[in-house]
Chains A and B, each alone.
Chain A
């Protein structure tokens, strides 16, 4: 068994824990599912974990704003131990609602950006939308991503638009390599709908912190862990350009992390 221990959090309204657990398992990690209340009662659970994952869903109904209440609870109950985890080399992955939570907690993009520089809010279309998107990896510092690659996976959300407090914030994020993934269309543009499905500033689909070990994104790598998930798989199997042996794009996010933390453990 792998020595990369992962804690996958669940809470009222979190609903992607099952597929996230599966992704970690087939990527070779050793995941454990834990309710936020149980973690709050025993924060020492974090001591053995390399990675904490906050899956997608509608935590506490996304009341007030998406991720707001879970973010408040986590800060209140395990905020310090989570920061300790990152400081000693651990990582946090937030997917969809989990990403919203990390932003509302101020952990993404982190540093001095804080809660009043970046947020995630309602899509330009003002409604829930489901579609597959293409992502370009824009950083070389993220433990979950291979630099200069593109990934395909679905977005499924109503509040996924990343808004920054002005262009200077975008430039700062860019220069520090904190913009982890961007939506791109076939021409490489980041601002066209529906390639950019929600109107995110600078096409930001996901962010990481300065350590590269805290990473969150709106799209769902956990729904792209099998070839049969791709919307064109029935056509791709007839096309020799698509090798059936290459790992599905979403799964690579989990595999990259397992490789990173395994290497770390060996050092």
Chain B
């Protein structure tokens, strides 16, 4: 076939590759199991296949070569091919999932490269490939009709924010397009927003409808600024201001001036307090007061840095990625960890990531699917998605995910929280950075696309049951290998033999180029030519290029004399890098597109123009301040996984069954249960630095913290852990914060960290802060964290907040689901801790080691137990028994010293589930037994309640006696746990029963067995 011009005609083909046998189709088995989770019991079989859709000057033999030599594994796969993109040989019910136009498809890109190389290698010079796309296909056996296929497509296989699907079935036959989709094309047109004539109400509407999420006073400030300038702003200018002034970027709530009136902090009575800048007067005040010389860089960079040794510092950052994960859990979590890794890469002149952390707060995976509000994903799907996202991104980056937590409460249903942390090593002479006027602005890494637009302002929005449609453009697509290449290139440029090739670097995070260039040039100004930014596809508007949050990009300030070397180095690493502008010296940000100015802003107004607010805050404890629990909703499982009645002491222990039953029930609570299903999916040992792993002992108990050895040639280590106690925040956020700091510290001490060289990070996740009470809760949390951190000597080095974690639904939906129209998350503070370990050989794990050793109790509970606080609510005359923060500090240090001196063989803190669960976990981890006697004099609490500042230590009898600690039990060789002295009944259970109860709830992501 030859066209009139003598050239080979363009043709289109499809290749369908599938596993040879059902036994080899693990992905299909997974999908089948997932159909059970959405209550489709009748699906009998699923077969999966991959589709490659190819166009070009290609005849059948060319496509066959590709299919045989590249696309198919001859041992386990088979293929068929045919002409056209849409023809299929299969005739039964099927679902095909294709990516939406403009959404990145990394597999297609690398397959295209490989296919071109293959044609060249085979000498098929006449064959050329124009385009190559991929898709997934599922043959479904047993579906009753198109509606069931639709449910499988939307509920299991695809996410309609980034994908579309085509159904084939008895009563449905979606036409599969025979042409590749094209993203929309835009002609350049400079757009101005007629802002100057707008009044309050119109400004408010513009802010909401334009997704700016600025307050009316903020909008007025902008309007007045442009009235002074005697012109209207361009859309790009307005968006730049909205991004820069977003809660996400400037934390205006936490930095606002606040007058607090209400309950005193940790003391009876009331108080009035004034904060000029809440963050500065509390969290930052801790660091200033403690004034540790080992704090190298705090609150000024993308991450906090403390010293590791004479050569290196260690950087730590924890981010949240909540809203994107609510809509698209896999992509949201993947880009969450990807973004946090870039924070470490962009910290100083670049740190090398050595470990990641992840914490998820979700509704319980057994949530009744019938009560799910419209457009809200089921928590089981969210859990699976976020775990897969962190897994695929972290594992591909080659960064071990070493520590984390899972916390369940119904109120996280529509607002799951996804915290991602990253730790990196940085040479001490690579911490300072400063872009200089005249430096070239180089953007490197991934290309810019339409993905992830408005993420910074989106995070200020309240989610609703229409959010998925409205904000699908904010979903970001991750590509870990692009980031890995960027990391490799960045480290080579940082450590170049002629010195660091650049004078500053930062990541493109929320706000994209707008934030990155705006922040780097804040003091000097910059000129940017947007057409020089490489794009994924044509047709992006100039403002889209400017604010796109396309992933895997970083911005460098490069002295002109190094530009050539820098670009060559990046090219050798297969990383795209382009000069897009120059840093200036006039303090003005100028943005141009094709030679025309599309934005011009004074840096001073951009960064200092935000009007400061003064707000009122209050808090007073109510006799029963727990959020109204009606109809069994919400279930919060706390404290320690006990039910509400049990927490308040409304029920007598005897009503709750015998002690054995209570212990098994406590182990089965999802907050306590084994997280092995999650941990095993993460590579936690890559880089060969693992010293204490997330699972401890021969039977995999829960480690308190992870320990890494950053330098192969040094005995020093780093312990990483977290503290999270939202179950206390309904009672009093002050104590919630103290407990979180205390728990994070205990966790790193348990493995051998030095409490005198431990730093902490704060991450606040809040509902809307639109009432005096929610602001009061924020104030109390800041104060609690401050009091504990100062007392324990723990400087804050970095932090972040995510507000507006609230969901609203229509009255009908609320009635149908039996939930309130407005769902606010519990006030949540995550404390992450990083402590230095002087010699990793001294590290300790939580599994019991030696029969005959004794169990000692080290305890100085500084936070009143939840039951105590609730009793006091009812009867304010009741005195709270608690240790002072100073006593607590002394105890932490004493335990750390015992561990450092080698006298402790196992250590575990008393947290979720109380003493009974702590000892159970130590037994489960080792499959050794214990005989424990609780004496009411040494232990005044319920053994099922979490107790702050308390540890169980395994020691020899002699060492325990020397340490003068109360001995509560003995390690036994036979795997049986006995605890006597609990009320009237005793605990007497085989360790295998404890293990079974503890392992079952989350064994397969919390799903029902199919």
Contacts and interface: CB of A to CB of B under 8 A. Distances in A.
Interface of A: 10, 12-13, 15-16, 18-19, 22-23, 35, 37-38, 56-58, 60-61, 63-65, 68-69, 72-73, 76, 115-119, 121-131, 154, 156, 163-165, 220, 222-223, 225-226, 228-229, 231-232, 234-235, 238
Given A68-B70, A73-B117, A128-B391, 20 more contacts: A13-B485, A18-B688, A23-B688, A61-B107, A61-B110, A64-B111, A117-B75, A119-B76, A130-B682, A165-B75, A223-B690, A225-B688, A228-B843, A229-B688, A231-B695, A231-B696, A231-B698, A234-B844, A235-B849, A235-B926
Interface stretch (B298-306, B395-403, B995-1003): B395-403
A65 B73 contact: yes
Contacts of B75: 115-119, 121, 163-165
A115 B687 contact: no
B680 A76 contact: no
Given A12-B485, A60-B481, A220-B685, A232 B26 contact: no
B73 A126 contact: no
B849 A13 contact: no
14 contacts: A16-B398, A16-B687, A61-B480, A72-B117, A115-B74, A123-B26, A128-B392, A130-B683, A164-B75, A222-B688, A234-B845, A235-B845, A235-B849, A238-B905
Contacts, number: 166
A121 B77 CA distance: 10
B680 A129 contact: yes
Contact of A121 (B24, B113, B845): B24
B903 interface: no
B65 to A, nearest CB: 13
Contacts of A65: 73
B686 interface: yes
A86 to B, nearest CB: 21
Contacts of A19: 686-688
Interface in B677-699: 679-688, 690-693, 695-698
A157 B195 CA distance: 56
A60 to B, nearest CB: 5
Interface in B154-198: none
- Interface range, B side: 35 or more
Contacts of A225: 688
Contact of A22 (B680, B688, B696): B688
Q: Which 9 A-B residue pairings sit nearest by Cβ, starting from the closest?
A: A15-B398, A126-B26, A19-B688, A119-B75, A116-B74, A63-B110, A61-B481, A234-B845, A63-B107
Contacts of A57: 398
Contacts of B696: 231, 234
A12 B488 CA distance: 9
A83 to B, nearest CB: 16
B22 interface: no
Nearest to B571: A37
Contacts of B841: 228
B111 A63 contact: yes
B240 to A, nearest CB: 34
- The listed residue with most B CB atoms (<10 A of its CB), out of A117, A220, A226, A234, is A234
What DSSP secondary structure best describes chain A's contact surface? mixed
Interface string B92-111: 00000000000000110011
Interface in B113-148: 113-114, 117-118, 121
Nearest to B113: A69
Contacts of A127: 30, 681
A64 B690 contact: no
A154 B110 contact: no
Interface in B16-65: 24, 26-27, 29-30
Contacts of A164: 75
B690 A58 contact: no
A72 B70 contact: yes
B424 to A, nearest CB: 14
A223 B688 contact: yes
Interface in B831-860: 840-841, 843-845, 847, 849-850
Contacts of A119: 73-76
B902 to A, nearest CB: 10
B396 A126 contact: no
Contacts of A125: 26
B574 interface: yes
A13 B691 contact: no
A15 B484 contact: yes
B685 A76 contact: no
A121 B76 contact: yes
A23 to B, nearest CB: 8
